[in-house]
A and B are shown apart, each in its own frame.
Chain A
């Protein structure tokens, strides 16, 4: 706990960008999942409109904020002089959950986007639902990441 009190000022900007990016990517995925779940229960044009909203949220907010979080994470790791050969467990958990989460966000965005296009022709609901499930997994992964970043297991 003393560690927090003596954190060098030079760490503040990358730490802020990392945490802000993490909050934004998590919020974006939560918004997308909420919208896509609503779309499951809607019909016709309303379903297509809500699915489009979920897709755009992942594409415009989720992916850019993921990169902000991930790049700032490497910045703060470099400031802390943590070598990649001997990184503590919590850094490994953070990298693992972030990278897997990033891949899942990308796949969920693609599936939702393709599903959205097919909804116009009456199909595509299954793809959008799969995208919803993958995005929900991302939320679970990021709760694990928050646990690792705050409790810092060795």
Chain B
């Protein structure tokens, strides 16, 4: 059970990172690549939920891990930050596709990426575990 949960958790994390990569591609590539947004943001959302579900499930499954451990709470906070900025980017690119706005701010991309990078650091070092 543990191995299956870990596989699904890590696979979801890889899909999440690939979605962020695609988001950067739309930002850098602009014009023609904005069509990717129709696929990227639903996938980002699904991967984000999936990372959370399997991560919380792992926290319950592994003896010694508690949902209220500092590193898990930090992960939940970082997940929320990446989700919030992902949602902002999704709305921004949707508006850009309809021609109403410019591309979303660089800062939103940087914050979403930094949150996921910090999540990975948190998952590897597990401070306080």
Contacts and interface: CB of A to CB of B under 8 A. Distances in A.
Interface of A: 1-2, 4-5, 12, 15-16, 19-20, 22-24, 26-28, 30-31, 34-35, 38, 42, 46, 49-50, 53, 57, 142-143, 146-147, 149-152
Contacts of A15: 124
Contacts of B18: 26-27, 30-31
6 contacts: A24-B17, A34-B39, A46-B32, A146-B11, A150-B6, A151-B3
Interface residues of B, number: 33
Contacts, number: 88
A151 B35 contact: no
Interface string B28-46: 1100110110010000000
B29 A35 contact: yes
Given A4-B62, A23-B120, A30-B18, A152 B3 contact: yes
B98 to A, nearest CB: 19
Interface in B71-129: 117, 120-121, 124-125, 129
B33 A19 contact: no
A53 B120 contact: no
A22 B21 CA distance: 13
Given A16-B125, A27-B20, 12 more contacts: A1-B63, A4-B62, A19-B120, A20-B120, A23-B17, A24-B17, A24-B21, A27-B21, A27-B22, A38-B33, A46-B32, A50-B29
B115 to A, nearest CB: 14
Contact of B129 (A5, A46, A57): A5
A151 B62 contact: no
Given A34-B25, A53-B29, A147 B17 contact: no
A74 to B, nearest CB: 18
B68 interface: no
Closest A-B pairs by Cβ, 7 of them: A27-B21, A151-B3, A30-B18, A150-B7, A23-B17, A27-B18, A150-B6
